[in-house]
Amino acid sequence: MDNILDQIKAFGVVPIAVIDNEEKAVPLANILLENGMPIIEVTLRTDSALRSIEKIAKECPKILLGAGTVLNVEDAQKAIDYGAKFIVSPGFNPKIVEYCNYKSVVVLPGVLTPTEIQNAVESGVKVLKLFPMESIGGLAYLKAVSAPFRDVKFIPTGGVNNNNLLLYLKHPKVLACAGSWIIPSDKIANGQFGEIADLVRQAIATILGFNIYHIGINSTSAEDARIIVNQLQKIFPFENIEKENSIFIGSQVEVMKRACLGQHGHIAIATNFIDRAIAYLANRGIGIKPETKNEENGKLRTVYLDVEIGGFAVHLIQI
């Protein structure tokens, strides 16, 4: 169960789908897989929902598949039998929680008030769907209602979109966010999978925030590094900052005092969430070099990827 929650956290977002034609289910799931978001919650709001879950489970086993709008134990039982790996309900139903705990299936009940949160916690649930998020006060409400519950994480749902997604994800009590803005029901119904792919990529770009942070140039020694810096400064009036292992020229060029990873140097890519970036890249077949991990205050700060591009190593940096 913890593995499922870890995956949801790593993805950062749960796209919610309303599918009224099961023939659209697998193409939709494939769009998510192909564009780096291997997770979906299919809501039980249509007659095609369970058949859609069954098709996705059989034909797209690499996607993390959940069922939403689960209103009773019978719904939960059917969804699990058809292949759902996690269950989401709009409210807190202790019978659903009890059944899912019995089946060792992750359940994410919806809550709104401190009383509902407390009841859910007493039933053994530590990750809760907070719904409807924006209608009840948004981030300010989340901060207020979550404060007494130190060990509880939330998945804000309802009104979350690309404009406020990052604000929610940066709050320490938020495990992930959920919403249908990534895979709108009208675009699913009309088979507009190209437009859905664009929305998926936009959400990932918002979450990860990849950008080039600086370029590193290898040299053979501190003396060699200073020669390179002096050559640049004769042409451009850049300030430099000398550090133990390198010299920065401005903020975006780093001249190393020795030969480091990469034939020529390295490219530093900044990201909003380094752990989520690692998970995203892993799903695209790009790993990390674990021995290069560098932590600050117990949190991962930088790590090199196991790729080299044009003679440059590539590392991620948490900003």
Catalytic residue annotation: 41, 129
DSSP 77: H
Decide: 15 and 200 in contact? Cβ < 8 Å.
Answer: yes
3-state secondary structure of 4: helix
Query: Would you tell me how many other CB atoms lie within 10 Å of the CB of residue 47?
Result: 10
Going from the C-alpha of 265 to that of each of 124, 234, 270, the distances in angstroms are 50, 22, 16
Kindly provide the b/e burial profile for residues 89-118, where b requires at least 16 CB atoms within 10 angstroms of the residue's own CB: bbebbeebbebbeeeebbbbbbbbeeebbe
Residues in contact with 180: Cβ distance below 8 Å, sequence separation at least 6, in sequence order: 15, 16, 17, 18
Query: Would you tell me how many other CB atoms lie within 10 Å of the CB of residue 120?
Result: 25
User: For the chain, how many residues are written?
Assistant: 319
